Amino acid sequence: MKNMLFSCGLIALALAGATYPAAAEDGLAIRGEEKVVTIETEDGAFDITRKKTDAALIGGVLQPLVPVPGVTPVGELEVLEALETKSAKVVDMRTLEWRTQATIPGSLHIPYTEVAGRLDELGCTGSSGSWDCSAADDVIAFCNGPACAQSPIAIRAMAREGYPAEKIYYYRGGMQSWTVLGLSTAEDMF
């Protein structure tokens, strides 16, 4: 049974890869400006490219899983647990335009461009440039998904202002994964 499931998984991965062929000149960036990553396989060189699909919210550059050393990546189950238990603040770091379209119910909105000046809402005291974050809350930051730079930018700003990286959790899948998985969203949230 395990071997059959593994084989089915490999077939599904192969089919998924074959579903979206893209020419590099039409593709999206993968790393920096790089649109093609060439790997060597048993059958020779293979170009991995990327293009916007119906499931993708945006076409940005892929973001690292850990945007700042010490930050912990999390998935949907950890986000749900935080929402249920209030063990962490789930923070939508996107612009208001994106948030009003759909967001994770129960999330707090602090746009990535404002987070460095609003750390008091996350348990810090003081003001921009002189925050004391010794009593900071655990925060789960998210934006539009693996190709969205808004929450990684916010996380870097938080760390720069003295927010402890070990209190920051990054939901890299963000709204893209949340909606693809069919989880409930809230609209018109301000």
pLDDT tier, 19 (very low <50, low <70, confident <90, very high otherwise): very low
Give every CB contact of residue 22 below 8 A, 6+ residues apart in sequence: 49, 50, 51
Lowest mean pLDDT segment, chosen from 8-12, 47-51, 169-173 = 8-12
pLDDT band at 52 (very low <50, low <70, confident <90, very high): confident
**Domains of the chain by start residue, with CATH:** 16-51 (no CATH), 72-180 (3.40.250.10)
Cα of 5 vs its chain's centroid, Å: 29
CA-nearest of 134, 99, 139, 98 to 115 is: 139
pLDDT score for 7: 41
Residue 31 pLDDT: 86
Where do the H-state alpha helices sit in 86-131? 96-101
Give me the pLDDT at residue 190, please: 65
pLDDT per position as a tens digit, 99-144: 999 999 999 999 999 999 999 999 999 998 899 999 999 999 999 9
- The verdict on pTM exceeding 0.75 is yes
**Position 38 pLDDT exceeds 50:** yes
Other CB atoms within a 10 A radius of the CB of residue 57 amount to 22
Q: In what order do the strands lie in the sheet with 72-73?
A: 72-73, 168-171, 139-142, 89-92, 108-109
